[in-house]
Amino acid sequence: MRRFVVAAALSALAVAAAGANPFQYAWQELAPGVWAGILADPFELPQEGNTLLVVTDRGVVVFDAGGSPAMGQAIVEKARAVSDKPITLVILSHWHGDHMRGLQSIVAAFPRVEILAHPHARDRILETRDRWLKRRVSMVPNIRKMVQQALDAHQDLGGRPLIPEEKAWIEQGLANVDALDSENHATEYVNPTGTFDGALRLYSGGREIDLLWLGRAHTAGDIVLWLPQEKVVATGDIVTAPVPLMPSAYTGDYPGVLAAIRALGFKSLVPGHGAVEHEAQYLDLLCEAIRTIAGQMKTLADQGVARDDAIARADYAAVEPRFTHGDPFLAHRFEDYVRKALADAAFGAAQGGLPDEAF
């Protein structure tokens, strides 16, 4: 539980650390009428995820709605800037709040918009709504308390000695948590209006938009958007960079999902968090990391090693340096988001279990 609390605090602070206005995208046009909205700080989970806008002759299609009313409003403003048509469709990559809590602003601006998700995603949105609405009341006060205690002890939120890069990041984020609190309290949940399982192909004028469920990966209901003519793919949190987010990975299926994305032959990949990718090497590294740890955990589970002991013995030496590149800040993010979480999920899978999808 403490691991999830720490991750939530880090995530919230990362949103605030993005700048004077932490609720804004940097927009990139990847192909004519195809706009990626990227968050400057890739460690904002679970508060804000990337988005993709596709302009068609019937309206604007949006993939992921941001994690707050302000981010949803930023999507509305960009859609109006690039098209005289309304947003007609929003597709949710998965159920986590940093990809769907901006829906209310989109619906307020375009009441006829349709919202599609995998059935699993819709179910989880409904199941977790009340818990999140209660939790938001204490979220920022708890963050302030935890951060101040850590700073007073000259530690980061993981209990490690506080390095300068992390101290600056935490302090900058702490200055903006009032904005986060305001957004949280303004949030109203909006439910998907439709679901699909498998694949759905949409046509609008000259556009072809493929919506694909390729298997369980980050969650059991991850949707990928693929533009075959433009060769642009948006993956949600199946892919996050520069360090993967592994709170509840389905390690048995995950490599196959990554292989299917790679096989599309994309020119641009919009991850759930992080910069746009134009090569497949990062997918290969992510796949290697999952397979490496899954193999280790399977061996240890078969030998009867206890779960906690097995997780402590997980060896990331072959992959971690290729994610962190010697950067101590990234090394801490790897520790927080990957090391225990991926090994824990892999050990559970080795014993025939399924991950508990955190929110």
Same domain, 226 and 304: no
Asked if residue 74 belongs to a domain, the reply is yes
- Domain boundary pick from 232, 252, 281: 281
In terms of residue numbers, what domain contains 211? 2-121+190-281
Residue 164 lies in a domain: no
In a domain, 185, yes or no: no
Note the pLDDT of residue 22: 76
Give pLDDT, residue 43: 66
- Whether residues 90 and 65 share a domain: the answer is yes
Could you write out the three-class secondary structure of the chain?
Answer: CHHHHHHHHHHHHHHHCCCCCCCCCEEEEEECCEEEEECCCCCCCCCCCCEEEEECCCCEEEECCCCCHHHHHHHHHHHHHHCCCCEEEEECCCCCHHHCCCHHHHHHHCCCCEEEECHHHHHHHHHHHHHHHHHHHHHHHHHHHHHHHHHHCCECCCCCECCHHHHHHHHHHHCCHHHHHHHHHHCCCCCCCEECCCEEEEEECCEEEEEECCCCCCCCCCCEEEECCCCEEEEEEEEECCCCCCCCCCCCCHHHHHHHHHHCCCCEEEEEECCCECCCHHHHHHHHHHHHHHHHHHHHHHCCCCHHHHHHCCCCCCCHHHHHCCCHHHHHHHHHHHHHHHHHHHHHHHCCCCCCCCC
Domain harbouring 259, CATH code: 3.60.15.10
Q: 217 with 249, same domain?
A: yes
Residue 311 lies in a domain: yes
Give the pLDDT of residue 250.
98
Q: Is residue 181 part of a domain?
A: no
- Boundary-marking domain end, from 264, 281, 298: 281
Q: How many folded domains does the chain comprise?
A: 2
- pLDDT tens sequence for the chain (359 residues): 334 334 444 444 544 444 457 788 999 999 999 999 999 777 654 468 999 999 999 999 999 999 999 999 999 999 999 999 999 999 999 999 999 999 999 999 999 999 999 999 999 999 999 999 999 999 889 988 888 898 899 999 889 999 998 988 888 778 778 888 999 999 999 999 999 999 999 998 789 999 999 999 999 999 999 999 999 999 999 999 999 999 999 999 999 999 999 999 999 999 999 999 999 999 999 999 999 999 999 999 999 999 999 999 999 999 999 999 999 999 999 999 999 999 999 999 999 999 999 76
Domain finish residue from 222, 252, 281: 281
